[in-house]
Amino acid sequence: MIYTVTFNPAIDYVVRLDTPLQAGTVNRAAGEDCVLGGKGINVSGILAQLDCPSVALGFVAGETGAWLERGLAAQGLQTDFIHLASGMTRINVKIKAGQETELNGAGPAIPPQAMEALQQKLDALRPGDILVLAGSIPSSLPVDTYERVLERLQGHSVRAVVDASGRLLANVLPYEPFLIKPNHHELAEIVGRALHGDEEITAAARELQEQGARNVLVSMAGDGALLLDETGAVHRIGTPKGTVINSVGAGDSMLAGFLAGYLQSGSYQDALRLGTACGSATAFSLGLASRKEIDLLLEQL
């Protein structure tokens, strides 16, 4: 089973304007949508499209949390959230008016007893299960939360997947995660130098592998992706043709597609191919990609 963790899920209120956003005056929307999300939830959403079951874990609070939970259930996602006694699940405002402007909520504080309740759920994971830790750590939790989670799971034979940036990612390498997914900019930040071309990116990925990561998946936006797998083999793929209209959730979609592809085929090359199709399909869509959109792009790769 795949378990995803979203520490600070959100309801994204997406507003579309036909004209540029004008500060200090009334702006009237041409359209609006509510999207239920957070990086781990996005991963679970694409996994559901691929008929790959998962359980979305994390924290919800207040009426917005109840709304989010009901909405995910309506989408067919299995959830097992910790319900916080105070606060409210955040609402993020995304204004699309030529340029995109975002106003992200802070979200509820997560007390130590709630984090312990989540950790107890993780203690029940079985050997071979996959745990996806994605995104930043809320300010109410210690900055070493990912490390604490993985340290407590040592010896459980759980395959950890981490999609984070900077020290948050670098610090989990000693726990030998099954997969990490930096983009090429995040990879350059971690190794402390600019990276130009596949050879330098591969060398940097190998440094992270030597520090503990089993597989390193490097996304490179329009240039495709590069995978350094646990055997030392390098896999490279481009992107299908299409117009990018949405960057939100594309990386999460790639991660979900990679995991589903690997579990279904046992092949890292096939996993990379499905992951690329999923990431691109979301980038070419207004929201998370559908199975039909994914399958159409898969034919191009």
Distances (CA, A) of 23 to 20, 26, 152: 10, 8, 48
pLDDT average, residue stretch 221-239: 94
Structure tokens at 258: 């990679």
- Residue 283 phi, psi (nearest 5): -65, -30
The rounded distance, in Å, linking the Cα atoms of 81 and 59 is 5
Give the start-end residues of each E strand in 176-242: 179-180, 215-219, 225-228, 234-237
Q: What is the CA radius of gyration of the chain?
A: 19
Assess whether pLDDT exceeds 90 at residue 50.
yes
Half-sphere exposure of 28 (CA within 13 A, CB side): 0
Query: In the sheet where 10-16 sits, what is the strand order?
Result: 31-37, 10-16, 90-97, 99-103
Least confident range from 34-38, 97-101, 194-198, 235-239: namely: 97-101
Assess whether pLDDT exceeds 90 at residue 165.
no
Assess whether pLDDT exceeds 90 at residue 246.
no
Residue 47 has what pLDDT? 97
pTM of the model as a whole: 0.93
Residue 100 has what pLDDT? 83
Residue 99 has what pLDDT? 84
Superfamily of domain 2-7+37-88+107-298: Ribokinase (3.40.1190.20)
Residue 301 has what pLDDT? 82
pLDDT average, residue stretch 165-192: 95
Structure tokens at 95: 């204004």
The rounded distance, in Å, linking the Cα atoms of 167 and 160 is 17
The rounded distance, in Å, linking the Cα atoms of 132 and 137 is 14
The rounded distance, in Å, linking the Cα atoms of 129 and 144 is 22
Distances (CA, A) of 226 to 43, 116, 147, 268: 20, 36, 26, 11
Segment 140-151, tens digit of pLDDT = 999 999 999 999
Residue 226 has what pLDDT? 97
Distances (CA, A) of 87 to 83, 91, 103: 10, 12, 18
The rounded distance, in Å, linking the Cα atoms of 88 and 139 is 15
pLDDT category at 222 given cuts 50, 70, 90 is confident
Segment 84-95, tens digit of pLDDT = 999 999 999 989
pLDDT category at 245 given cuts 50, 70, 90 is confident
Chain mean pLDDT for the chain: 94
Assess whether pLDDT exceeds 90 at residue 53.
yes
Structure tokens at 250: 């594309």
Amino acid found at 157: S
The rounded distance, in Å, linking the Cα atoms of 288 and 249 is 7
- Residue 273 phi, psi (nearest 5): -65, -50
Domain-wise residue ranges, the chain: 2-7+37-88+107-298
The rounded distance, in Å, linking the Cα atoms of 178 and 115 is 23
- Residue 75 phi, psi (nearest 5): -85, -5
pLDDT category at 262 given cuts 50, 70, 90 is very high
| CB-CB contact of 181 with 251 (8 Å) | yes
The rounded distance, in Å, linking the Cα atoms of 79 and 123 is 17
pLDDT average, residue stretch 288-295: 93
pLDDT category at 135 given cuts 50, 70, 90 is confident
Q: Which residues are catalytic?
A: 252
